[in-house]
């Protein structure tokens, strides 16, 4: 036991006090001879009490965790815009006054359902005129055929020359062509008449309708009558940098533990995650020279029609690590561009600072390369600002230190 001056001073003071007490008190002589044994008892009691209360150096009480392999995913986020697989701008095919609007904004319509009605009277009259022209040309054709039938016997009997027959045949061909042209014109007028009733080309949801009944609509209008979106399935278009795209292409076919899946998740504008995963099914095939990025497309099932055209979200791509070593971000410290942890050594309960290599991040944890840390290694989780190489640590379970301090405060 090391020499302690305070113990000697305390015993010396006790001896002086005992002598003074016995000097001024009328104690029997036979009691005075016991003061030295009493003094010895006090001396050794003081020594042993000090020895018992001397604290043992167990090290700093800090939480320590044991590392283990577990499944993890490294995430990449990209902003995306949502579009229906079929987005159709509804435009008039003929000019005229808008007479009827059969639908309202936002409702679902089926393919072939009437949407708008344009005044059809001018087109009906055009069709009637075209049909009349067809009848005229058909009559001319019959007349040409009659002429051929009339002169044929005359030619056979050599009454007239064959030149007359050639002329009659030419007139017949002209009549036939005129009839064909009249029939084509009538068919075109019939199509224009049908175009006065605008029908849904696909099933989907009606967008905004900027026109109202009575407005003049034209084929050359810049703004469509509405936009019809089929959102049973949706596309999410997003872009990534050239370097990210090269990394994705390499990791997509990787057979190691760093494989990158072409399945993606979608985070909506309110922060919630869409319940169905999508799949990347196409890319633009070219790098945009002005931005250095490439556009990709992910397809999502949308049976509940929750996703609508024009919405935005975040595409989450994940790189899967089936056997990853994860450590809390707060368990690391950085020096310049390097990152370190304090590894606990079982043999002497001390810590050593160890450089680590970080492969990625998932949540509030780092994915650490297996070449720098191994399963069953133990690291200090918090309080690392108190540590240097060789400091002794009393390892505690996560949460134990807080519990012990709380109990001590209550007592």
The answer on pLDDT for 344 being more than 60 is yes
Tell me how far apart the alpha carbons of residues 373 and 155 are, in angstroms, rounded to a whole number: 110
| 81 found inside a domain | no
- Are residue 64 and residue 34 in the same domain, yes or no? no
Domain boundary among 195, 220, 240: 195
Could you tell me which residues are beta bridge partners of residue 145?
none
177 in any annotated domain: yes
Name the band, by pLDDT with cuts 50, 70 and 90, for residue 220: very high
d(CA 210, CA 272): 32
Q: Which residue has the higher pLDDT, 140 or 165?
A: 140
Give the alpha-carbon dihedral of 177, 181, 187, 190, to 10 degrees. Answer: -140
- pLDDT-based confidence at residue 65 (cuts at 50, 70, 90): very high
Please name the residues in contact with 217: beta carbons below 8 A apart, sequence gap of 6 or more: 92, 95, 96, 97, 98, 118, 211, 225
Q: Identify whether 99 is part of a domain.
A: no
Q: List Cβ neighbours of 188 (8 Å cut-off, separation of 6 or more).
A: 130
What are the pLDDT digits (tens) for 395-410? 887 654 433 433 333 3
Give residue 408's pLDDT: 33
pLDDT at 362: 82
Contact 91, 399 (CB under 8 A): no
Domain assignment present for 333: yes
Let me know whether 64 and 38 are in one domain: no
Q: Which residues pair with 335 in a beta bridge?
A: 338
Give kind and range of the element (H or E) at residue 386.
none
More confident residue, 50 or 329: 329
65 shares a domain with 30 = no
Query: Can you tell me the mean pLDDT for 153-173?
Result: 82
348-378 pLDDT, tens digit each: 889 999 999 888 888 888 988 777 888 989 9
Does 87 map to a domain? no
Domain stop point among 153, 176, 195? 195
pTM here is 0.63
Domain of residue 137, CATH code: 1.10.287.470
Q: What is the pLDDT of residues 288-308, one digit of tens each?
A: 989 999 999 999 999 988 999
Among the ranges given (228-232, 290-294, 321-325, 353-357), the one the predictor scored with the smallest mean pLDDT: 321-325
Instruction: Give which of 233, 252, 229, 249 is closest to 241, Cα–Cα.
Output: 249
> Do 124 and 46 belong together in one domain?
no
Q: Compute the radius of gyration of the chain from its Cα atoms.
A: 48
Using CA atoms, how far apart are residues 124 and 131, in angstroms rounded to an integer? 11
Sole residue written with tokens 């399963």 = 375
Residue 96, domain member (yes or no): no
Does 361 reside within a domain? yes
Give the integer Cα–Cα distance in Å for 126 and 120.
Answer: 10
Are 27 and 65 within one domain?
no
Residue 35 pLDDT > 60: no
Residues 328 and 405 in one domain: yes
For residues 329 and 388, state if they share a domain: yes
Q: Which domain holds residue 400?
A: 60-69+324-410
Helix or strand or coil: residue 281? strand
Specify the range with the lowest mean pLDDT, choosing from 53-62, 166-175, 197-206, 243-252. Answer: 53-62
User: For the chain, how long is the longest CA-to-CA vector?
Assistant: 189
Higher-scoring residue by pLDDT: 183, 256: 183
> Last residue of some domain: 132, 166, 195?
195
Higher-pLDDT residue of 393 and 164 is 393
Does 65 lie in the same domain as 31?
A: no
pLDDT at 369: 78
- Whether residue 402 is found in the same domain as residue 331: yes
Tell whether 36 and 64 lie within a shared domain: no
Q: Are 15 and 65 part of one and the same domain?
A: no
Residues 404 and 331 in one domain: yes
What is d(CA 311, CA 84) in angstroms, rounded to the nearest whole number?
Answer: 10
Domain containing 383 — which CATH number? 2.40.420.20
- Count of the separate structural domains present in the chain: 3
Q: Is residue 319 part of a domain?
A: no
As a whole number, mean pLDDT of residues 111-126 equals 95
DSSP string computed for 147-190: HHHHHHHHHHTTSS-HHHHHHHHHHHHHHHHHHHHHHHHHHHHH
């Amino acid at each position: 036991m090391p020499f302690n001056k305070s113990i000697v001073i305390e015993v010396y003071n006790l001896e002086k006090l005992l002598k003074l007490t016995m000097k001024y008190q009328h104690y029997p002589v036979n009691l005075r001879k016991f003061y030295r044994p009493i003094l010895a008892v006090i001396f050794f009691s003081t020594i042993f009490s000090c020895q018992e209360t001397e604290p043992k150096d167990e090290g700093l009480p800090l939480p320590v965790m044991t590392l283990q392999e577990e499944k993890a995913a490294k995430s990449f986020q990209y902003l995306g815009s949502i579009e229906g697989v079929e987005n159709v701008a509804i435009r008039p095919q003929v000019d005229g006054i808008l007479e009827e609007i059969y639908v309202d904004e936002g409702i679902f319509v089926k393919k072939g359902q009437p949407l708008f009605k344009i005044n059809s009277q001018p087109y009906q009259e055009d069709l009637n005129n075209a049909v009349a022209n067809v009848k005229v040309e058909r009559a001319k054709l019959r007349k040409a055929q009659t002429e051929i039938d009339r002169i044929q016997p005359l030619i056979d009997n050599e009454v007239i020359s064959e030149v007359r027959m050639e002329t009659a045949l030419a007139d017949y061909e002209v009549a036939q062509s005129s009839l064909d042209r009249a029939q084509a014109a009538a068919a075109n007028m019939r199509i224009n008449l049908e175009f006065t009733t605008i029908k849904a080309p696909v099933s989907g949801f009606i967008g905004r309708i900027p026109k109202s009944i009575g407005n003049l609509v034209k084929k050359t209008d810049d703004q469509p009558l509405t936009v019809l979106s089929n959102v049973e399935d949706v596309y999410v278009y997003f872009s990534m940098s050239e370097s990210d795209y090269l990394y994705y292409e390499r990791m997509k076919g990787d057979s190691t533990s760093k494989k990158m899946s072409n399945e993606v998740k979608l985070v909506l504008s309110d922060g919630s995650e869409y319940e169905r995963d999508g799949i990347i099914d196409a890319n633009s095939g070219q790098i945009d020279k002005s931005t250095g990025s490439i556009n990709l497309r992910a397809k999502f099932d949308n049976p509940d029609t929750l996703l609508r055209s024009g919405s935005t979200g975040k595409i989450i791509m994940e790189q899967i690590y089936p056997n990853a070593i994860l450590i809390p971000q707060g368990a690391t410290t950085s020096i310049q561009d390097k990152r370190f942890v304090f590894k606990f050594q079982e043999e002497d309960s001390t810590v050593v600072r160890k450089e680590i290599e970080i492969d990625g991040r998932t949540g509030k944890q780092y994915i650490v390369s297996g070449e720098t840390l191994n399963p069953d290694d133990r690291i200090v989780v918090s309080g690392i600002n108190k540590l240097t190489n060789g400091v002794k640590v009393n390892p505690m379970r996560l949460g134990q230190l807080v519990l012990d301090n709380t109990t001590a405060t209550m007592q």
